[in-house]
Structure 1
Amino acid sequence: MENLLNRRYEEAKTIYAAIGIDVEAVLTKLAQVKLSLHCWQGDDVHGFLRNEALSGGISVTGNYPGAARTPQELRQDLEKALVMIPGKHKVNLHAIYADTDEKVDIDALEPKHFTPWVDWAKEHGLGLDFNPTCFSHPNFQNGFTISHLDRNIRNFWIKHCKVSRRIAEYFGKELKQTCVTNFWFPDGFKDVPIDRMAPRKRMKEALDEVFAEKISCQYIVDAVESKLFGIGSESYVVGSHEFCLNYAIQNKKAICLDVGHFHPTETISNKLSAIALFDTEILLHVSRPVRWDSDHVVIMDDELQEIAKELVRNDLLGKVHIGLDYFDASINRIAAWVIGSRNMLKALLRALLEPTEMLKEVENKADFTTRLAMLEEMKSYPFGAIWDYYCETMDVPIRESWLADVKKYEIDVLLKR
């Protein structure tokens, strides 16, 4: 098998060399990509602080057995997934995933409540990203959190976001990797509102308070995430794309683009160059919307490949933060992590194997025939042989062989929970 794999790789490398692609340089570049794996796929977004039903535009469907019940089980499951994904990556935590026996509300969280996560990340050479949890809480009232009309409720969420930034700073300092900290709020109206301006004014002022404390960008990158609509906010969302993009630009924050947070016919791949041109930092939440923001497991569809191409063609790898964001409780949760992560990396590999400079050259000459012909022929180039070799060299399973290990883990561990 190894000889066959190497032979296929050498043949593929020769084919790509003929169009000017240095495959070894491509694999070196791919190995530098750090994905941020979302912890909430492992337990269906419940967390470990409260036993609250999901609310605030969040819903998970399915009842596949084996969801993590404790931080220890969640870390164990993440370890199983990570050994099947080539490269060194990060793990993305929500505030509700604190690992503590102390009864503490989210506005009183401290770095000490996440020490086990930091110790674990150090042991495995991982980075950590973070998110305040602005949903599934009694102070999510009438569809609002940080832009609520009641100042006391707003203050609770402002305080929660402030302590979240200090936790993120702790992650950055301890792990020596910048912690990307994303702020998303489900605030909005189910039906058409009279006053769209006032909630946005309150949200803007609240965010100004949240970000008033200066924290070095060496440790933390703040991002604001928009949404078109959500469950219970079908007619109006306070933190729209226009609001978040303008706030990010004005306040030198990153803008989070979530694949599922736009109109069903709208894509984010086309937005990347427009935003990056103005030196606005970008966080991607890569998901797969099916008719709405349903957060299906990422597959190798057209939009995923277009996102990867935009990142590569515009030299945005290393400048754009790539995180996964989906939660499917209808299938094995570890498999969901592995499938989505491997597909994101495969899409990036295919993009890196494209002769971008040659294609730009023919495009500038208005030779659109060659551009179209090459793009279509590239679809049948043997990138799979390169991917198999990459997995082998990174000591992760080749092709679908990882699935047997996941199935065994399901029998040995998950079904016994």
Structure 2
Amino acid sequence: MSVKERYELAKKQYEAWGVDVESAMKTVTNIPISIHCWQGDDVTGFETNDQELSGGIEVTGNYPGKATTPEELRQDIAKALSLIPGKHRLNLHAIYAETGEEKIDRHQLKPEHFKNWVAFAKEHGVGLDFNPTLFSHDKASDGLTLSHPDKEIRDFWIEHCIASRKIGAYFGEELGAPALTNIWIPDGYKDVPSDRLTPRIRLKESLDRIFAADISAEHNLDAVESKLFGIGSEAYVVGSHEFYMSYALKNNIMCLLDTGHYHPTEMVSNKISAMLPFNDILALHVSRPVRWDSDHVVAFDDELKEIALEIVRNDAVDRVKIGLDFFDASINRIAAWAIGTRNMMKALLFAALMPNNHLKKLQDEGNFTERLAIQEEFKTFPLGAIWDYYCEQENVPSGTDWLKNVQKYEEEVLSKRD
């Protein structure tokens, strides 16, 4: 049976419940995912100081074919984009600046150091997002940055974040859509601190100075990202969820929720509806934690589907900015991008194909029996048939055909890299 024939049968099954399948596919196509560049080179970047990863970040594995130059990384990203339906965005970190042979420290970075990324974005029709890089640097070697007791170190990182916001605004102006510039810091302590408040006051003061720089929201959107704990900050993180949620609300900026930055029993899907009544826009970094913030490739699991449901059924597709954040060097890196992003898109399609209005009505009526029965039945509805047809309509491989494409690319390109 052809993809089209399977689609037509599946479409009838969904339409029997009042689901508009074509509208659902259109909804998903209009949701851009911000795909992170750092999956392709294991968060190495292109600085000339050969800094090792720090800040509690671990990338495990040594799969061959890692990108080691800007040209290789952009080539790999282009390949991944060709396997993913929809029009998306690309998320950069400051360490992906291209400064040539000149050593330019992070607080001195300028838009011109990212002009090649802007050219790439224009060529491929994607937007750009940005992150200052407050790890893997001499001035972050003790795990403290914007909350550091040393004012000189705090000033350095404040200048870096201001420079990053200007770079984000450059992206937005050049590409006609605002960049999301997100600040995450590794600051915290391995063991129980003797003072939790003072570092948080220092962090607030640093953020106040960063956001005092007048940068147009037309071109740049600001976000702050929390974390619960990490390697080297197991006992205390300065920028906790409560800290950043409060700061974002008070200062009218975005709070970014990373799905790997919470206690294993906390579900980010549940936080979305709790925060939407008080926030115009939220941001997400979707990852897959395994026992800790291990940033595994996003899988089509229950939490991913719940996140997608919270976004779609609450008409929040324009209010939740979705980005990805995982890095796995134990498997083919292009495949990792494709698997994770396709799963995010598939979860959104799953959510758009649910009879959400009917299920809401059943809940309001107190008919929990029928609600549960329908929710369970839809778990085995023929989503795959709709997904394959959707991929073909978007001119990307359906089924596992994309994997053959990656394997061919590995043979012809990745295997020839040193």
TM-score (norm 1): 0.98
Contact 1:98 1:114 (C-alpha < 8 Å) held by counterparts: yes
SS at match of 1:60: coil
Matching residue of 2:207: 207
Query: After the TM superposition, which residues 345-356 of structure 1 pair with which residues of structure 2 at under 5 Å, given as runs?
Result: 345-356=345-356
Contact 1:249 1:280 (C-alpha < 8 Å) held by counterparts: no
Cα deviation, 1:327-347, whole Å, max 9, x if unaligned, reads 000000000000000000000
Structure 2 spans left out of the alignment, 5+ residues: none
Tell me how far apart the structure 2 counterparts of residues 313 and 67 of structure 1 sit (CA, whole Å).
39
Matching residue of 1:282: 282
Tell me how far apart the structure 2 counterparts of residues 260 and 280 of structure 1 sit (CA, whole Å).
23
SS at match of 1:293: strand
Contact 2:280 2:319 (C-alpha < 8 Å) held by counterparts: no
Deviation at 1:100, TM superposition (A): 2.5
Aligned residues: 415
Matching residue of 1:71: 70
SS at match of 1:277: helix
1:46 aligns with 2:44: yes
Which amino acid in the other structure matches residue 284 of structure 2? L
Which amino acid in the other structure matches residue 154 of structure 1? R
Query: After the TM superposition, which residues 175-254 of structure 1 pair with which residues of structure 2 at under 5 Å, given as runs?
Result: 175-254=175-254
Tell me how far apart the structure 2 counterparts of residues 210 and 57 of structure 1 sit (CA, whole Å).
24
Query: After the TM superposition, which residues 288-307 of structure 1 pair with which residues of structure 2 at under 5 Å, given as runs?
Result: 288-307=288-307
Tell me how far apart the structure 2 counterparts of residues 340 and 143 of structure 1 sit (CA, whole Å).
29
Matching residue of 2:145: 145
- Aligned CA RMSD, in angstroms, stands at 0.8
Tell me how far apart the structure 2 counterparts of residues 299 and 279 of structure 1 sit (CA, whole Å).
28
Which amino acid in the other structure matches residue 56 of structure 1? G
Tell me how far apart the structure 1 counterparts of residues 43 and 5 of structure 2 sit (CA, whole Å).
44
Deviation at 1:279, TM superposition (A): 2.4
Query: After the TM superposition, which residues 18-417 of structure 1 pair with which residues of structure 2 at under 5 Å, given as runs?
Result: 18-49=16-47, 50-101=49-100, 102-417=102-417
SS at match of 1:37: strand
Tell me how far apart the structure 1 counterparts of residues 199 and 208 of structure 2 sit (CA, whole Å).
14
Tell me how far apart the structure 1 counterparts of residues 370 and 74 of structure 2 sit (CA, whole Å).
49
Tell me how far apart the structure 1 counterparts of residues 245 and 180 of structure 2 sit (CA, whole Å).
17
Deviation at 1:280, TM superposition (A): 4.2
Which amino acid in the other structure matches residue 76 of structure 2? D
Tell me how far apart the structure 1 counterparts of residues 283 and 45 of structure 2 sit (CA, whole Å).
23
Contact 1:61 1:328 (C-alpha < 8 Å) held by counterparts: yes
TM-score (norm 2): 0.98
SS at match of 1:295: strand
SS at match of 2:31: coil
Tell me how far apart the structure 2 counterparts of residues 78 and 405 of structure 1 sit (CA, whole Å).
14
Tell me how far apart the structure 2 counterparts of residues 280 and 136 of structure 1 sit (CA, whole Å).
33
Contact 1:99 1:117 (C-alpha < 8 Å) held by counterparts: no
Q: Which 4+ stretches in 1 moved above 4 angstroms? A: none
Which amino acid in the other structure matches residue 6 of structure 1? K
SS at match of 1:340: helix
Contact 1:248 1:280 (C-alpha < 8 Å) held by counterparts: no
SS at match of 2:293: coil
SS at match of 1:180: strand
Tell me how far apart the structure 2 counterparts of residues 143 and 394 of structure 1 sit (CA, whole Å).
44
Which amino acid in the other structure matches residue 70 of structure 1? T
Structure 1 spans left out of the alignment, 5+ residues: none
Q: What is the percent sequence identity of the aligned residues?
A: 60
